[in-house]
Structure 1
Amino acid sequence: MSSLRLFLSRRWVLFAITVALLAWLAWRLGEWQFHRLEDRKERNAIIERNTSGPPVPVAEALAVDDPVEKDEEWQRVTATGSYDTANTVIIRYRTRDGAPGVDVVVPFTTTDGPALLVDRGWFGTDERNLGPDDVPAPPAGEVIVTGWARTDGTGDSTAVHDQSARAISSERIGDALDLTVYGGFVDLESETPEADEPLERAELPELNNGPHFFYGLQWWFFGALAIFGFCYLAYDEWRKLRSERAQHATVDRDHHPADER
């Protein structure tokens, strides 16, 4: 029992507390990864459900001053109207495969009245002063567009200056252009008739579960490894202490034999 008092020393108590904190942190991080996995599965199910259905009229899917909810994102919508090219908004700092470029958002005046913000796609360029007149034009006249409903961006990146922004917000763009717009926006899937110079269309997100399952297992493994390492070091210390005490006892018996008492 006296050998176990070793572990009541300041060094071992602090060591045990540190290992316990590390194990607890690893457990929480593992749980966080598994929660992210469940969120990813839920997101994938929503995307798969919404993209597999036929497109619905925009007035049935979106509304003015009504943001697109997460469970409505990637729903296919269609609208008839014309592009308002004079109010084109450039979304800067968009890259694809490492190449610089911009997304081109054009308000689409629908026959129902409100404007629908259409992200027509990506245009590769390293021109920092690119303006609305410098990007390929959409088709003129009456157009039928089909696209995927998207939720608005948030934060300072959605601020609109000189018809440019770093993220898309229907509220910010509508206010900047003085337009009545549907909440959210759409990533263009198709337009009829086609533009003379189409932009690179948005791609649907990958429907995989990502690395979260294995990351969660790794965090739990690290936590278990910390506990195992602590127990092994404690056992090794205890074993060495017992061995040293046994050796001292043997030396004492050799120097003080019973017949010399």
Structure 2
Amino acid sequence: MGFGDSGISLRGVRSFRFLLSRRWGLFALTVVLVAWATWWLGQWQFHRLTDRKHDNQVVETNEHRTAAPIDDVLAAGEPVAADDEWRLVTVTGTYDAAHTIIWRYRSNDDGAPGVDVVVPLVTDAGTTVIVDRGWLGTAADDKRPDVPPPPAGRVTVTGYVRADGSGSSTRVDALSTRALSSRTVGPAIGRQVYGGWLALHSEDPKPTQALDPLSLPDLGNGPHFFYGLQWWFFGVLAVFGFFYLLYDEWRTGKGDAVGAARRRVKQDRDDTRSEKTSRKQAVREAYKAAYEKERAARK
């Protein structure tokens, strides 16, 4: 089959020249960037899902382990190991109620405002462990609330191991903080403390007035899987839309029509410019001829 028999193919090749326009070049670049961004965001969500599953496995495993002595899990000044989060430990000591710390801006599962009551427990060996004894509902103001006292005398505490918070919010001012960290509580109360802190599970003997215990974490996988699919769907949709619009412009000849219209506009502009140039040249030639004629008459 010669070129004469393949006119459709040649016209098809010519019709795709609209892809070389700046408009389609910018459109293609935008789609590439959108596709890359949505792929990366989808991957990020799936990585978060993997991390969430690992954390859930650690929590689920540690929740059902037998409580261990605190020295088997925590050490003074040492951070909490990632695989020890939410592990149950036991420790015996005496509460230092005089250095009770108010953890502000806390809410319960119903969203009610309140504080967490944090009390240092001094062990027989002298090292102190930070114990979050639970949540207390308060009025929405900045006044330091009156908190129920912890059990007096020697107390055996069983609690969940938690890692220290970070950032400036862990600063302790006037025995008050916005996030809990043994690294800032220790210097604030002037004691050597274990790394991390304990979320109270039980006390022996029991207090006169108990606080609301800290809720265990949700072990669901969260929305990360569907968010990841959603981002990838957006990327596929952008690519599909690009090729659909490309096909539509090729099918309807819009690309050729737009190109032809632009060429006509350019040709008209060039013709107008050429016409103006010709008129100016004619005027200059007329002036020149008149000048030469006048000069000849004077001679």
| Shared fold, TM over 0.5 | yes
Matched with 2:149 is 137
Aligned to 1:71: 83
Partner amino acid for 2:214? A
Structure 2 counterpart of 1:117, from 111, 127, 130: 130
Task: Deviation per CA, 1:202-230: give whole Å up to 9, x if none.
Answer: 11101111111111001000000000011
Aligned-residue offset at 1:98: 2.1
CA contact (8 A) 1:121 1:200 kept: yes
Shift of 1:69: 2.0
Q: SS in structure 2 opposite 1:198?
A: coil
**Structure 1 length-normalised TM:** 0.90
- Give the Cα–Cα distance (whole angstroms) in 1 for the partners of residues 37 and 255 of structure 2: 36
Residue deviations 1:129-176, cap 9 Å, x none?
A: 115xx1111111111110000000000100010000001110101001
CA contact (8 A) 2:16 2:255 kept: no
The alignment's C-alpha RMSD in Å is 1.5
- Equivalence for 2:292: none
Give the C-alpha shift of residue 50 in structure 1.
1.2
What is the match of residue 116 of structure 2?
103
Deviation >6 Å, runs of 4+: 242-245
Number of residue pairs aligned between Structure 1 and Structure 2: 244
- Extract unaligned runs of 5+ from structure 2: 1-12, 258-299
Residue from 241, 246, 249 that aligns with 1:234? 246
Q: Residue 210 of structure 2 corresponds to which residue in structure 1? A: 198
Provide the secondary structure at the position in 2 that maps to 1:145.
Answer: strand
TM-superposed CA distance for 1:112, in Å, is 2.8
Q: Could you tell me which residue of structure 1 aligns to residue 9 of structure 2?
A: none
Match of residue 163, structure 1, among 172, 175, 178:
175
Does the CA contact (< 8 Å) of 1:123 and 1:199 recur in 2? yes
- TM-superposed CA distance for 1:46, in Å, is 0.8
Normalised to the residue count of structure 2, the TM-score between the two structures is: 0.79
| Offset from partner CA, 1:219-261 (integer Å, 9 cap, x none) | 000000000011001100000108988xxxxxxxxxxxxxxxx
Alignment pair present for 1:152 and 2:187 = no
Change (3 A) 1:187 1:24: same
Give yes or no for contact 1:92–1:166 (8 Å, CA) kept in 2: yes
Q: Which structure is higher in RCO with an 8 Å CA cutoff and minimum separation 6?
A: 1
Rounded to whole Å, the distance in 2 between the matches of 1:77 and 1:86 is 24
Task: Indicate if the aligned counterparts of 2:15 and 2:255 stay in contact, CA closer than 8 A.
Answer: no
* Residue of structure 1 in register with 2:195 after alignment: 183
Counterpart CA distance in 2 for 1:198 and 1:112 is: 27
Gap regions ≥5 residues in structure 1: 246-261
Deviation at 1:72, TM superposition (A): 1.3
Which of 8, 32, 36 aligns to 2:20? It is: 8
* 2-structure distance, mates of 1:84, 1:169: 17
Alignment map for 1:23-42 (pairs within 5 Å): 23-42=35-54
Distance 1:180 1:47 in 2: 28
Give me the whole-angstrom Cα distance separating, in 2, the residues matched to 1:243 and 1:44.
Answer: 55
Residue identity (%):
55
CA contact (8 A) 1:19 1:230 kept: yes
